[in-house]
Structure 1
Amino acid sequence: MDDKKNIILAVLLTAAILFGWPYIANHFFPAANPPATKIEGGKTQPLPKPGADPAADSPAAIRDRALVLKESPRVQIRTPKLTGSINLKGARIDDIVLPTYSETIAKNSPAVRLYSPSGTKDAFFAGFGWQGEGLKTPDANTVWTADRTELTPTSPVTLRWDNGAGQIFEIRFTVDQNYMITAQQKVSNSGAGAVSVKPYGYVSRMGIPHDPDTWTIHIGPMGVFNGAANYDVNYKDLDKGPSMQSFQSTGGWLGFTDKYWLSALIPDQKAAFAGQFRKGAGTQYQADYSLQSTVLAPGKAVTQTARLFVGAKEVKTLEAYQDAGVPLFDRAIDWGWFYWFEKPIFALLHWLFEHIGNFGVAIICLTFVVRALMFPVAQRQFASMAAMRAVQPKMKALQEKYKDDKPKLQQEMMELYKREKVNPLAGCLPIFIQIPIFFALYKVLQLTIEMRHQPFVLWIKDLSAPDPLHILNLFGLLPFTPPSFLAIGVLALLLGISMWLQFKLNPAQMDPMQQQIFSIMPWMMMFIMAPFAAGLLVYWITNNCLSMLQQWWLYKRHPVLSAAPAK
């Protein structure tokens, strides 16, 4: 009767995990990157990025981007990591492409586009301007005059506009070798009276990015205000209302963060500013800031300097800007609670990659490093397991003797542990240590652009995406793609087999219920882990293989573990 009860409980637990896990995972754990490849006819084929419209010439586009870009005079932007242009109508930075990153892994894939002008699909742009009293300020229709036709790291560009009433406005743009554009805003007053001016900057975007905002990874408006990173504002919050959320700060920054990309305004760090996140018509969103007003007397000029970051969230690049004075800029990557632990894991993994040249091999080497560091803990675990194994007959006798007196049983068990000098929780320590390591690697694979589109071997072309080789469609020979819940790939199967072999090496549990759970656990984990990034499965499979080798060696040192329990 007890055996049947245990089997029923095991089956129900399995069903609850298998069918309930997708709902839990969707809420707490963002899915891996969309598949970068698919297997057709036994061959690996690159997939287009979901929702991508690199040329903006599809029927879904509002207007053709190429035509819009030709409608107004422009200053070209040329740097090693940025290309595009500044629209002289409105002084908007509305055309930015990242030539070092591709939309997909295909050879002919277009480069990633971040900014696109108003009137095109997924319009996204930034600009700087002034509000004022007693004077005419430039607006979105103002056509500026540029002193150069191209902005490069060695050739700044100055835009100039005369309002015809005695005030001259200038924006001097400079750009570095990475992703930072500096805007020096200057107003000169040659009129007869004093005027009041207040500089501002803004980033405006249409639509919500395809990457979902989840419990563990923030996608959307964010900023650093008064020395603290703020991830509390979401697109849904602005949709539901209020349609504007404001912050006051001295120093800091604000903008929009995507999974791999960032567009951030960085005001003068010594000046107090008012920052806002706003919801406009439809799916238009804006992040902006404004400084305090300055009264400008006749014959005087005032200058304010701000910066715009528009580019990839490369860890070392963000850290370099942070060291140069942008507060908490590395928090543009939502490392989360385990920030202190995830960054060292990333640093070690990236260091291994730089010396090896393959991220998959680097993950395997990281696993070796982790197992080596945990080896002393594993030795203590096995010694504790051996001691627990030796006292199991006495534990069983106590359970039989005090089966009707639970308090007395607990008391006697504690006395037994104390007398035999064993700790029943010591064997759990390596598991608890593995949890933050696994979660840190999960976040690194999901968040860091350094892992994006990184190949391993054979059919694994993107370690941050799920395994594309599925068993149910006979490894791509059948013309259909299984749903994610049933997309059991080769890596997931290897994970299940390695866990099964690892559990087989363990001595049989005295509790039938525990033995039933251990027998089905590998196959549950196979289903659960199949949709995760391939890099995570590579880590776990390697860890299981090393665990088996370690168990085999430690069994030789503690033969009581592999022996049949005493009667």
Structure 2
Amino acid sequence: MDNQRNLILALVLSFLVLLGWTLLSDRILPTATPPSTKIVDGKQVALPKPEAPIDSAAQIRDRAIVLREAPRVAIATPKLKGSISLKGARIDDLVLVTYGETIAKNSPPVRLLSPGGTADAYFAGFGWTGQGAALPGADTVWAADGATLAPGKPVTLSWNNGQGQLFRIRFDVDADYLFTVTQTVANAGAGAVGVKPYGLVSRIGHSKDADSWTMHTGPIATFDGVTDYGIDFSDLDKNPAGERRNSTGGWLGFGDKYWLTALIPDQKAAVEAGFRGADGRYQADLSRAVEVVAPKTQATAVTRLFAGAKEAHLLERYQDDLGIARLDRAIDWGWFVWFEKPIFYLLDWLFRMVGNFGVAIMCLTVVVRGLMFPIAQKQFSSAAAMRVLQPKMKALQEKYKDDKPRLQQEMMQLHKDEKVNPLAGCLPIFLQIPVFYALYKVLMLSIEMRHQPFILWIKDLSAPDPLLVTNLFGLLPFTPPHMLALGVLPIILGITMYFQFKLNPQAMDETQRQIFSIMPWVLMFVMAGYAAGLVIYWSWSNTLTILQQKWLYSRHDKQIASKGVEERR
């Protein structure tokens, strides 16, 4: 009767863990990028790109039509392709040619920027406010001195207001994702004019990537050397005026999981900057102080625009070479950046050495297990000693089953006499937690793993295992709900955890034993929605642990046997 009650209690607790984790995981620890493939009729096919959200309050138009409505300057670099609209001087057409939307061979490239009026409008613009002169606006059509913007081939846009002021915007672009925008006002008029240069990034709708406790998406900024992850789209929905800040240098913009569009002023310049939003439209902008331009003089302001992928090495290079404050924190490494970055650097180096990210993860696991070998040896030695003591502990439990205080005293004395610390095995577990969390963050945030294949059916290590057992590997025409989306890799994880638990000393309490017997299968479902790369790490780590544990146990058993022979002599 007691065994049945304990089993029911263990099942209930396991169900609560599984249900509670499912409800909280998207907010606390997001699982993975959306699956990029699906098994249909036993064959793996790439999933299409999710449709962009539509703003019902605006008239949404076809992108191709909008792009043809204004004269344009083409953008052509090794990593970018698109155009600048001469109407309004906007960078509003940009795709990342080295990144595909899906893993399909014919996948279109990732589109970052789109013109206003389209479903996923997202663009950067530059201009002036001020007084005493006619200023260019959103409908101003500029003249360009070139047809294509490319590395080493700048393009200058110009507009004469007919009152003696000539406005120029020069665009330079490097071979990666950085634009340099130089705004100049030349005053040939009879009187002084006051102008205030600005830059803005505007987008419609929230990020498609979830904002969570461990991964910030949406508005992001560095003001006066402090990176602010605390501004969300929901904050701008509640307060359309947003938050304005005065800062020296820094940067601000919008970050998705893998992409960033950010304005970067001169790092020694004083700027007013901030975010605002209304009706599903959001804007990041910055401006300089008003500058009075006397007759026959000119005023110039330089702003940089980063528009591209959050490649860790590239962000750090811009940060170091150009002195851009904390640009590397555009990746939300979190509090443990000091630990996560070394994990990332090691994993990235291993990937470049072996050429397969899955194999690199397995090599990283070997390195971690190797570094922790002395600690693990102590843990397993303690566990082996506990296994030897279990018959004696069970005898004490039977003898003092009606006297709990006396039982605890006898247990403590037994551990003391045998020189066994029952808590010695906990240290390696606690030490592995930061390693596991660091790897989780690296696999979640690093674009270097996006769409990286492993072997066989694993085509994207940043997405969950697509080979689902619960729909018979795609033979049944339905997609299981999140809690039942159980792939092959999580099952392997559950099996390795089961054998690992079997090697550990059995808990003396029956309820604890029941819970530990069920826990591998509960965690199997919990991990089903996580990145395949993370599940591979845990499964391979379990396998190495089992091999190491069996080897150390065999050595310990031989030592015990040898000691027994000597004692009999």
Corresponding residue for 2:297?
300
**Which string of whole-angstrom CA distances, capped at 9 and with x for unpartnered residues, describes residues 404-449 of structure 1?**
574x876776666556544332201111122111111211121111
Q: Report if the CA contact (8 A) 1:38-1:46 is conserved.
A: yes
SS for the counterpart of 1:306 is strand
* Pair 1:314 & 2:311 matched: yes
Distance change (3 Å), C-alpha of 1:137 and 1:419: farther
SS for the counterpart of 2:372 is helix
Inter-partner Cα distance in structure 1 for 2:240 and 2:448: 37
User: Identity of aligned pairs, percent?
Assistant: 63
User: Post-superposition shift, 1:511?
Assistant: 2.4
Inter-partner Cα distance in structure 2 for 1:374 and 1:312: 35
User: Post-superposition shift, 1:386?
Assistant: 3.5
Q: Report if the CA contact (8 A) 2:453-2:460 is conserved.
A: yes
Letter of the 2:535 partner, please give it. Answer: L
Inter-partner Cα distance in structure 1 for 2:368 and 2:508: 31
Q: Report if the CA contact (8 A) 2:384-2:553 is conserved.
A: no
Pairwise CA RMSD of aligned residues?
2.3
User: Post-superposition shift, 1:504?
Assistant: 2.3
**Which string of whole-angstrom CA distances, capped at 9 and with x for unpartnered residues, describes residues 19-63 of structure 1?**
22211212211131111111112111111122259xx9xxx9811
Q: Report if the CA contact (8 A) 1:158-1:171 is conserved.
A: yes
Corresponding residue for 2:471?
473
SS for the counterpart of 2:185 is strand
User: Post-superposition shift, 1:514?
Assistant: 2.2
Distance change (3 Å), C-alpha of 1:401 and 1:505: closer
Inter-partner Cα distance in structure 1 for 2:436 and 2:209: 22
Letter of the 2:7 partner, please give it. Answer: I
Letter of the 2:315 partner, please give it. Answer: L
User: Post-superposition shift, 1:240?
Assistant: 1.7
Corresponding residue for 1:368?
366
Which range moved further: 60-69 or 250-259?
60-69
Equivalent residues in 2 for 1:28-177, closer than 5 Å: 28-51=28-51, 62-177=60-175
Letter of the 1:454 partner, please give it. Answer: Q
SS for the counterpart of 2:344 is helix
Corresponding residue for 1:382?
380
User: Post-superposition shift, 1:393?
Assistant: 6.4
Corresponding residue for 1:521?
519
SS for the counterpart of 1:344 is helix
User: Post-superposition shift, 1:509?
Assistant: 3.0
Q: Report if the CA contact (8 A) 1:555-1:561 is conserved.
A: no
User: Post-superposition shift, 1:312?
Assistant: 0.5
Distance change (3 Å), C-alpha of 1:2 and 1:380: same
Distance change (3 Å), C-alpha of 1:562 and 1:518: farther
Distance change (3 Å), C-alpha of 1:363 and 1:24: same
Inter-partner Cα distance in structure 2 for 1:227 and 1:338: 18
User: Post-superposition shift, 1:385?
Assistant: 2.3
Distance change (3 Å), C-alpha of 1:402 and 1:189: same
User: Post-superposition shift, 1:391?
Assistant: 5.2
SS for the counterpart of 2:471 is coil
Pick from 437, 440, 449 the counterpart of residue 438 of structure 2: 440
SS for the counterpart of 2:286 is strand
User: Post-superposition shift, 1:506?
Assistant: 2.9
User: Post-superposition shift, 1:376?
Assistant: 0.6
User: Post-superposition shift, 1:328?
Assistant: 0.7
Letter of the 1:283 partner, please give it. Answer: G
**Which string of whole-angstrom CA distances, capped at 9 and with x for unpartnered residues, describes residues 192-251 of structure 1?**
122211111100001112111111111100000111110010001111225411122101
* Pair 1:458 & 2:456 matched: yes
> What is the number of equivalent residue pairs in this alignment?
557
Query: TM-score w.r.t. structure 2 length?
Result: 0.93
SS for the counterpart of 1:184 is strand
SS for the counterpart of 2:189 is coil
Q: Report if the CA contact (8 A) 1:382-1:558 is conserved.
A: no
Distance change (3 Å), C-alpha of 1:411 and 1:515: closer
Q: Report if the CA contact (8 A) 1:51-1:210 is conserved.
A: no
Inter-partner Cα distance in structure 1 for 2:183 and 2:78: 25
Inter-partner Cα distance in structure 2 for 1:3 and 1:561: 36
User: Post-superposition shift, 1:270?
Assistant: 0.5
Q: Report if the CA contact (8 A) 2:316-2:328 is conserved.
A: yes
Corresponding residue for 1:330?
328
Distance change (3 Å), C-alpha of 1:22 and 1:562: farther
* Pair 1:290 & 2:292 matched: no
SS for the counterpart of 1:127 is strand
Corresponding residue for 2:237?
239
Inter-partner Cα distance in structure 2 for 1:424 and 1:248: 57
SS for the counterpart of 1:94 is strand
**Which string of whole-angstrom CA distances, capped at 9 and with x for unpartnered residues, describes residues 352-405 of structure 1?**
111111111111111111111111111111222234445556766777669657
User: Post-superposition shift, 1:120?
Assistant: 1.2
User: Post-superposition shift, 1:6?
Assistant: 2.5
Corresponding residue for 2:351?
353
**Which string of whole-angstrom CA distances, capped at 9 and with x for unpartnered residues, describes residues 90-121 of structure 1?**
11111111111111111111111111111111
Inter-partner Cα distance in structure 2 for 1:101 and 1:64: 23
Q: Report if the CA contact (8 A) 1:353-1:362 is conserved.
A: yes
Q: Which ranges in structure 1 are unaligned for 5 or more consecutive residues?
A: none
Inter-partner Cα distance in structure 1 for 2:49 and 2:437: 26
SS for the counterpart of 1:154 is coil
Distance change (3 Å), C-alpha of 1:386 and 1:494: closer
Corresponding residue for 2:507?
509
Query: TM-score w.r.t. structure 1 length?
Result: 0.93
SS for the counterpart of 2:342 is helix
Q: Report if the CA contact (8 A) 1:506-1:562 is conserved.
A: no
User: Post-superposition shift, 1:156?
Assistant: 0.6
Corresponding residue for 1:535?
533
**Which string of whole-angstrom CA distances, capped at 9 and with x for unpartnered residues, describes residues 449-484 of structure 1?**
111111111111111111111112111112112112
Distance change (3 Å), C-alpha of 1:556 and 1:124: same
Distance change (3 Å), C-alpha of 1:395 and 1:301: same
Inter-partner Cα distance in structure 2 for 1:52 and 1:360: 31
Distance change (3 Å), C-alpha of 1:466 and 1:402: closer
Which range moved further: 520-529 or 421-430?
421-430
Inter-partner Cα distance in structure 2 for 1:19 and 1:152: 53
Inter-partner Cα distance in structure 2 for 1:127 and 1:486: 46
Inter-partner Cα distance in structure 2 for 1:65 and 1:331: 33
Inter-partner Cα distance in structure 2 for 1:498 and 1:562: 27
Distance change (3 Å), C-alpha of 1:196 and 1:419: farther
Inter-partner Cα distance in structure 1 for 2:391 and 2:489: 40
Letter of the 1:288 partner, please give it. Answer: D
SS for the counterpart of 1:530 is helix
Inter-partner Cα distance in structure 2 for 1:530 and 1:429: 27
Which range moved further: 309-318 or 7-16?
7-16
Which range moved further: 351-360 or 187-196?
187-196
Q: Which ranges in structure 2 are unaligned for 5 or more consecutive residues?
A: 565-569
